[in-house]
Amino acid sequence: MKQRIFFFSLLLLVGFQSFSQAPELSEKSQISLLTCAAGDELYYAFGHSAFRVQDPELGIDVVYNYGTFDFNQPNFYLNFVKGRMIYSLSRRSFEAFLYEYELEKRWVKEQILDLTLEERNELLAFFEENYLPQNRDYLYDPLLNNCSSITGTILKEQYGDAIEFDGSYLDEQYSFRQLVRQFLNVNSWSMFGIDLAFGSRVDRTATVQEHMFLPYYAMIQIRHTTKDGKPLLKRERVILDYQEHTKQNFLPLSPLFWFILLLVFTGIVTYFDYQHKARSKWLDFSLFFITGLIGLFLLFLWFATDHTSTPYNYNVLWAFPLNAVVAFILVFENKLPEWSAKYMYSMLGLVGLMLILWIFGVQIFSPVVIPVLLTLAMRYVYLIRYSKL
């Protein structure tokens, strides 16, 4: 008997995968949103969203996953840097989808949507149309077009003004940067790198729907969404019940720890330079060259990529690109050029301008960068004094 059931289910699955036209769902079918817990890797740090289609009468139980990417794609890392990441809609059995989260002990919650049979069939047809080889790939954007934000986009495309996202549950509407920081420790290398790469655009307040780029917010939003004035959520259940993954931040491995060490080291070297009326060329070269390289990379992200989150990045005020050139002058010249004092005053002015932009909320910078600013300011001031000797 079990062999017959398995054989029949296999025939249904093969038939389902072989035809571009979606099957007609039965009254017992349901479509739901799956929300998966955050994982330990950076690309799992915000959780995951996917759609599930079930029909016990047809033997269908599949997951449509808009968060599929392949490290083996041609030029994967280059496209990532350029902001031209291609993600795909994949379709797999629910059992295979769930296995990964069972293995990693990450919770999975399901929200069954209150849709009519006609609406369920239309939504399934939409997924199947999207799953066609010519349609399944899309240009990924981590904040505006990802596996989670696409939930709100699909609901709006399918049901238009009948869908209303109620944001009254939010204590406040956050900026994109604030939302990301809710899931990453500010004093971590990953969050520091993100803060460094993000420009001022991510400091605008996200709309209620835009909050859905984070799966946890998409899940909460479904609870506060109506269709034709009635709750969209039919019922909710926990499929896998595991504790939330928590990360312990080990201070000696954090950026703040190393940046404070840099500040202390620079302070000691500067003190001895002052005592001996000398200049530590290789320290200056390192500080200027590294900040200059960072600035050049930030300019590349700003002007030469398709990222929507990296333009107008005023981190270039402290990570000034021209420093990469000045570094070589400082290391190879025994005497500082006549213009060096004016250049150092300008650098101090740019750091000051950055602080003003920070205070007025034009761009929010990582607090971890404060020891770096103090380090640079210390050397700028000393080099101004040294240039007058």
Structure confidence by residue, pLDDT tens digits, 97-115: 999 999 999 999 999 999 9
Measured at the alpha carbon of residue 15, what is the angle toward residues 10 and 19, in degrees to the nearest 5? Answer: 155
| Average pLDDT over every residue of 235-246 | 95
Q: Distance between CA atoms of 268 and 262, rounded to whole angstroms? A: 10
Residue 18 has pLDDT above 90, yes or no: no
| Average pLDDT over every residue of 240-260 | 90
Q: Distance between CA atoms of 155 and 226, rounded to whole angstroms? A: 11
Instruction: Give residue limits of the domains in the chain.
Output: 25-170+208-240, 251-387
Beta bridge mates, 87: 138
**Per-residue tokens: 389:** 């000797």
CATH of domain 25-170+208-240: 3.90.1720
Residue 43 banded pLDDT, cuts 50, 70, 90: confident
* pTM score over 0.85: yes
Structure confidence by residue, pLDDT tens digits, 150-201: 999 999 999 999 999 999 999 999 999 999 999 999 999 999 999 999 999 9
CB 186 within 8 A of CB 249: no
Percent of the chain with pLDDT over 90: 86
